[in-house]
Structure 1
Amino acid sequence: MTAVATTKIWAVKDNLERTVNYAANPEKTVDSDLKKALRYAGDEAKTESRCYVTGVNCNAETAFEEMNAVQERFGKTGGNVAYHAYQSFKTGEITPELCHEIGVELAKKMWGNEYQVLVATHLNTGTLHNHFVVCSTNMWTGKKFNCNEGAYWKFRALSDKLCAEHNLTVIKNPSGKTPRSIYFAEKNGEPTTFNLMRKAIDFGIERSYSISSFDRVMKNQGFIVNTNPRRRYWTICSVNSNKSVRMYRLGDEYTNEAILRRIKIHYQQYGYKHFDGYQYSRVRMRDFRPKKIRYRGSFKLLKCFSGLYAKYLHYMFLMGKLPRWNQRKPLSLEMREAWRHLDRFSRQVTLVSNKKLQTIDDVKSFIADTDKEINEVIELREKVYNKLRRCDDDDRIKELKKSRDDCTTLLRQLRREKKIALTIIEDEPKINENISCEIQAQNLARGRKPNTRKKVYER
C-alpha cells in the first residue's frame, strides 16, 4: 500500500528548542538551489526563496521563546514539554503551497486557539510532508494537552477529511508501522515475510485456473489461504503459523478483486472464454503443470557426517542451497526468510568444518581457548610496542614492525572466528526450529501426519 496522507504524533520530553529548530530548519523548508534556478528561468518575478514555516497562535521566528514563556508562567516545564507530529502526502500529488496550506488548516482545526503550534513544510525529500511542533501547555488554562489514542484518531480523521476535500489520495486500510530493518529489506527485494507471500501468490496465480486450484497451489508452497467469497478480506498464513495476514496489506495487486482479475486474465490467455472463479472448469491440465526434473544417481557413495556439520548440511539442503543440483524450494515461511542470512550460515559451517566442532560444548570450549590465545597475542604485541619505543636500529625496527603487523593480523582472525562461534550458539535454537517447521510443512503438504520424533545429529 502506497504511503499517502499518513499521520503520526509522539511526545517530546528532552528538549523543546531542539525540536523547534529541527522543524523550522531552513535547509528542509526552503526550495533547493536547482528549483530556484528553474523557477527564475521561467519567471523572473518569482526569484525570492520561500520558507514554508507558519506559527499558529505564536510567531514562527520566536516560537520557542513564546512556548517556553507559557510553560514557565504555569510551572509546566517538566514532563512532556511538547508533541511532535507529521503529515505526509503521496509523492508528486501535491504542491508545496497546498501542502503547507493544508498543514496550517489542520493545526487550526486540531488545536484551535488554545495551543501554540509551529507548522513547517519540508521539501528536502521526494515526499512533501508537514511537521507540527505543539506546545503541551494550554495558553489560557495551563492544562496539558492529553495526547491519548483518541487524539491521534481525531488528528488522522481531520487530515483525511482535508485530503478528501482537496481530491487527494487517502489510505482506506492503513497498516501499522514497519520496523526500519524490515522496511529496507522489503525495499531491496530481500526475502522478508511479505515479499515471500507476494512471490508465492504471484506463483500461484500463474499456475491457477480457478480459486480452488489457487488454494491448492498455495498449499503446495506451504501457505494456507482463506478465499471464502463471504469474507470481506482474504487472508494468508504459513502452515506453521496461526497468525493470518490480510492480503490487501501486501499491495494493491493482492486484494480480492485484483487476484480474481489476474487469475481470469491468465485463464483467458489459454483461449478459454468462460471464467467462474469458484468452480472447476474443464481445461487442459498440461497447460498449467510445471515441468519436473528427475535426478538420476545414488546416495550410497556419500560420506556419513554427524554433529554440527551434519546439521548445517541438512539445513542448507532444506533451504535448497545444497547440493548444486538441488532444485527444491522450502515450503515453510521461516526457512525461506532464512535466505537473508545465508552468508552468516556459510561462515558458520566453514568454521565448524575447519575446527572440527561436533557439538555446542565444543563451540564453547573453542571460544574459551580463543580468548586465552587472544590475551597471549595482545601481551606479545605490547612487548613488541615496548621494544619499538627503545629501539634505534633501522633493521631491528623493520623486524619489530613486521612482528607487530603479524600479531595484529592474527588478532583480527581470532576475533573474527570468536564472533562467528558466538553466532553459532546464538542461532542454534532458531536453526532447530526452522528445520522442524520445514519438515512439518512438507508433511502437511504431502498429507502426512506431523513427525514428532526429534532429529539426532550428535553421536
Structure 2
Amino acid sequence: MAVTKIWAVTDSVSRVLSYAANPDKTIYSDICKALHYASYERKTVIGEENAMYVTGVNCTAETAFDEMKAVQERFDKTVGNVAYHAYQSFKTGEVTPQLAHKLGVELAKRMWGDQYQVLVATHFNTGTYHNHLVVNSVNMWNGKKFNCNEGAYWKLRSISDELCKENGLTVIKNPNGKTPRKLYFAEKNGEPTRYNLMREAIDKALTMSTNPKAFTYVMKQLGYVIDLNPYHKYATIRSVNSKKETRLYRLGEAYDRDAIYDRMRDTLRNNPQEAYRLYYEFTEKKSFGVTIQKAHFVKGNLKTAKKITGLKALYFRYLYLLGVLPKNKKHKPLSPEMREACRWLDRHTAQVQLICDNHLTDISSVESFIKNTDSEINLISDYRKMLYRDIDSCHDTDEKTKLVAKRDNCTKALAQLRKDRKTAARIIEDNPKIKENILIEENMRSRYFGLNKSRKRGYER
C-alpha cells in the first residue's frame, strides 16, 4: 500500500526582492532546500548503519541542484514553479528500505521518463518507509514546464498502485483524498481529532458489545449514530449533533463494517462475560467518570466575591466543560465536539490569559484592543525603521551598540504585539464555535444525567 502526494516548489516574491543582490538566495533557494531535505543524511539512517538511499534520475545525486539550475538557465525558466516535490509513503512493515527505494526510482522513471530530472531519496525517520521525489519543473530537451494538474496527480497515484500490485503489496481501495498537513500529523500523533475520537468510541463500544443492537446503543450513548445496514452501500458514522456522515472505511480497515462484525464475533467467542459486565457498568453510567456539579467561577471568597461575567465567564465555563477546571476535579466532556476541542487547549489558554490581562469584557472590547495594537505596531515599526537608518550611518562603535540594542528591543516588542493581535483575532473567530460547543455539551449533560436519575434498578416484571 502506498500513499502519494505532489505539490509545487515556488519561491516567495518578497524574498526575491529582499535578496535580489544575492543570486544564491533568490530563485533557487526553495528548490535547493527541497533537494537538501530529500537527501538529508540523518533521515536515511537505520540504527547506527549509515545507509544512504539517494538516486538521481536523469541527473547525478551529488550535483542535482547544479544540473537542474543549468537546465532552467539554458531555457530562461528561472521563475514561477521551479520544481515539484512528491512523496510515496508505504504501509509500516510492508516493505524493506531497498524495495521502497527501488519502487521510488521506478515511479520516477515511469512518470517522468527521460524528459525531467528527478532526485529520489528514501527516508526512515517517521517510522514508515517513504520516498521523496524532487522534480525539475523544466524539460531537459525542449524547455517546456511540467504541467502538474489534477491529471498528473491521478497518473502518479495510478503508477504507484501498479508498482504495488506488481510487487505483491496492498493497494488502497477507497483513498481518503487530500489530508491537510496539520491534520495528518495530529492523526499520526494520536491527538483527539474527529477521526481519532470516532476510532476511540468504536474501540470502547466493541469491548462491551456482542451484537449490533448493543453496539449501536453504546455508540449513541458515546455521542455517535452509526449505520451498519447491510443494504446500504457504505456503513457510516456521525455525531448525534451533526447531519454530516463519515464513511467507516475512512477510519481504516479495522473500522469498516465487516471488520466491526468480526470483532463483535471475537468478543462473543472469547470473553462474553467480561463484555456483559462492561455493558452493565456502562449502562449504569459508572464508566463516564464525570463529576456532576455546577461551576461557579468567582473572585476571592465564594461567599463575598463578585461573580465573573462576559468573555471571562464564557471561557471559564468552556474550560470547565472541557475538563480543565477545576484542577482538583476529574471529569471528561461527553460530546464528540468538545472532546475534539481538547486539541486547542493551548490556544484557548492564551485567549483567557489575554482577556484577563487586558480586562476584555466583550467582542467590542476585543475589536478595540486590535485597533490599539495595530496603532502601536505601526508606531514601533516606524521607530525601528529610523533606528535601522541611524545604524547604517553611525560610525561610533559605542553609539552603534546602543542603537542595535534599541532595535532589538523594538523587534521583541513587535513580536509580542503581533502575537497578542493574533490571539485577539482568534477570540473573535472562535467565539461562535465556543458558544455552539457549550450548548451541545450542556444538552448532552442534561440528557445523560437526566437519564441516570430516572433509571430504575432491578428488573420490571
Q: What TM-score do the two structures reach when normalised by structure 1?
A: 0.65
Counterparts of 1:200 and 1:78 in 2: how far apart (Å)?
50
In structure 2, the CA distance between the partners of 1:268 and 1:359, relative to structure 1 (3 Å rule), is same
Q: Which residue of 1 aligns with 2:7?
A: 10
Give deviations 1:285-317, integer Å, cap 9, x for gaps: 847633549999999999976544554454345
Q: Which residue of 2 aligns with 1:52?
A: 54
Q: Which residue of 1 aligns with 2:243?
A: 242
Following TM superposition, by how much is the alpha carbon of 1:81 offset from its aligned partner in structure 2, in angstroms? 3.3
Counterparts of 2:53 and 2:236 in 1: how far apart (Å)?
46
Q: Which residue of 1 aligns with 2:49?
A: 35
Q: SS of the counterpart of 1:22?
A: helix
Q: Which residue of 1 aligns with 2:455?
A: none
Q: Which amino acid aligns with 1:246?
A: R
Give deviations 1:405-436, integer Å, cap 9, x for gaps: xxxxxx9xx98999987765554333212223
* Residues 5, 90 of structure 1: 8 Å contact kept: yes
Q: Provide structure 1 residue ranges, at least 5 long, that are not aligned to the other structure.
A: 37-48, 273-281, 373-410, 449-459
Counterparts of 1:177 and 1:305 in 2: how far apart (Å)?
44
In structure 2, the CA distance between the partners of 1:10 and 1:296, relative to structure 1 (3 Å rule), is closer
Residue of structure 1 aligned with 2:339, choices 336, 341, 364: 336
Counterparts of 2:319 and 2:43 in 1: how far apart (Å)?
51
Q: Which residue of 1 aligns with 2:204?
A: 203
Q: SS of the counterpart of 1:340?
A: helix
* Residues 39, 121 of structure 2: 8 Å contact kept: no
Q: Which residue of 1 aligns with 2:283?
A: 289
Following TM superposition, by how much is the alpha carbon of 1:52 offset from its aligned partner in structure 2, in angstroms? 3.3
Residue of structure 2 aligned with 1:430, choices 411, 422, 433: 433
Q: Which amino acid aligns with 1:120?
A: V
In structure 2, the CA distance between the partners of 1:219 and 1:133, relative to structure 1 (3 Å rule), is same
Q: Which residue of 1 aligns with 2:255?
A: 254
Q: After TM superposition, list the pairs within 5 Å mapping 1:327-366 onto structure 2.
A: 329-342=332-345, 345=348, 359-360=362-363
In structure 2, the CA distance between the partners of 1:52 and 1:219, relative to structure 1 (3 Å rule), is same
* Residues 72, 78 of structure 2: 8 Å contact kept: yes
Counterparts of 1:102 and 1:432 in 2: how far apart (Å)?
50
- Cα RMSD, aligned residues only: 5.0
- Structure 1 window deviating more from structure 2 (329-338 vs 68-77): it is 68-77
Counterparts of 1:332 and 1:211 in 2: how far apart (Å)?
22
Following TM superposition, by how much is the alpha carbon of 1:172 offset from its aligned partner in structure 2, in angstroms? 2.9
Q: After TM superposition, list the pairs within 5 Å mapping 1:99-118 onto structure 2.
A: 99-113=100-114, 115-118=115-118
Q: Which amino acid aligns with 2:8?
A: A
In structure 2, the CA distance between the partners of 1:191 and 1:60, relative to structure 1 (3 Å rule), is closer
2:191 is the alignment partner of 1:190: yes
Following TM superposition, by how much is the alpha carbon of 1:155 offset from its aligned partner in structure 2, in angstroms? 1.4
Give deviations 1:113-165, integer Å, cap 9, x for gaps: 3x133333234624333333333333444433222211211111111211222
Q: Which amino acid aligns with 2:129?
A: L
Counterparts of 2:47 and 2:319 in 1: how far apart (Å)?
53
Counterparts of 2:327 and 2:341 in 1: how far apart (Å)?
18
Q: What TM-score do the two structures reach when normalised by structure 2?
A: 0.65
Counterparts of 1:107 and 1:50 in 2: how far apart (Å)?
18
Q: Which amino acid aligns with 1:13?
A: T
Q: Which amino acid aligns with 1:132?
A: L
- Structure 1 window deviating more from structure 2 (6-15 vs 361-370): it is 361-370
Q: SS of the counterpart of 2:148?
A: coil
Q: SS of the counterpart of 2:132?
A: strand
Q: SS of the counterpart of 1:133?
A: strand
Counterparts of 2:47 and 2:277 in 1: how far apart (Å)?
62
Larger Rg belongs to: 1
In structure 2, the CA distance between the partners of 1:328 and 1:80, relative to structure 1 (3 Å rule), is closer
* Residues 290, 332 of structure 2: 8 Å contact kept: no
Q: Which residue of 1 aligns with 2:458?
A: none
In structure 2, the CA distance between the partners of 1:350 and 1:135, relative to structure 1 (3 Å rule), is closer
* Residues 218, 224 of structure 1: 8 Å contact kept: yes
* Residues 317, 326 of structure 1: 8 Å contact kept: no
Q: Provide structure 2 residue ranges, at least 5 long, that are not aligned to the other structure.
A: 12-26, 297-301, 376-412, 452-461
* Residues 331, 442 of structure 1: 8 Å contact kept: yes
Following TM superposition, by how much is the alpha carbon of 1:360 offset from its aligned partner in structure 2, in angstroms? 4.8
Q: Which amino acid aligns with 1:35?
A: E
Give deviations 1:349-377, integer Å, cap 9, x for gaps: 688789987655567789999999xxxxx
In structure 2, the CA distance between the partners of 1:112 and 1:289, relative to structure 1 (3 Å rule), is same
Q: SS of the counterpart of 1:35?
A: coil
In structure 2, the CA distance between the partners of 1:291 and 1:434, relative to structure 1 (3 Å rule), is closer
In structure 2, the CA distance between the partners of 1:108 and 1:93, relative to structure 1 (3 Å rule), is same
In structure 2, the CA distance between the partners of 1:355 and 1:61, relative to structure 1 (3 Å rule), is closer
Q: Which amino acid aligns with 2:158?
A: A
Following TM superposition, by how much is the alpha carbon of 1:177 offset from its aligned partner in structure 2, in angstroms? 4.0
Q: SS of the counterpart of 2:81?
A: coil
Q: Which residue of 2 aligns with 1:151?
A: 152
Counterparts of 2:283 and 2:295 in 1: how far apart (Å)?
28
* Residues 20, 63 of structure 1: 8 Å contact kept: no
Following TM superposition, by how much is the alpha carbon of 1:234 offset from its aligned partner in structure 2, in angstroms? 1.6
* Residues 74, 142 of structure 1: 8 Å contact kept: yes
* Residues 29, 51 of structure 1: 8 Å contact kept: no
- Structure 1 window deviating more from structure 2 (179-188 vs 20-29): it is 20-29
Q: SS of the counterpart of 1:34?
A: coil
2:133 is the alignment partner of 1:119: no
Counterparts of 2:57 and 2:258 in 1: how far apart (Å)?
45
Using the aligned pairs only, state the percent identity. 50
Counterparts of 2:426 and 2:204 in 1: how far apart (Å)?
34
In structure 2, the CA distance between the partners of 1:286 and 1:325, relative to structure 1 (3 Å rule), is farther
Following TM superposition, by how much is the alpha carbon of 1:203 offset from its aligned partner in structure 2, in angstroms? 2.7
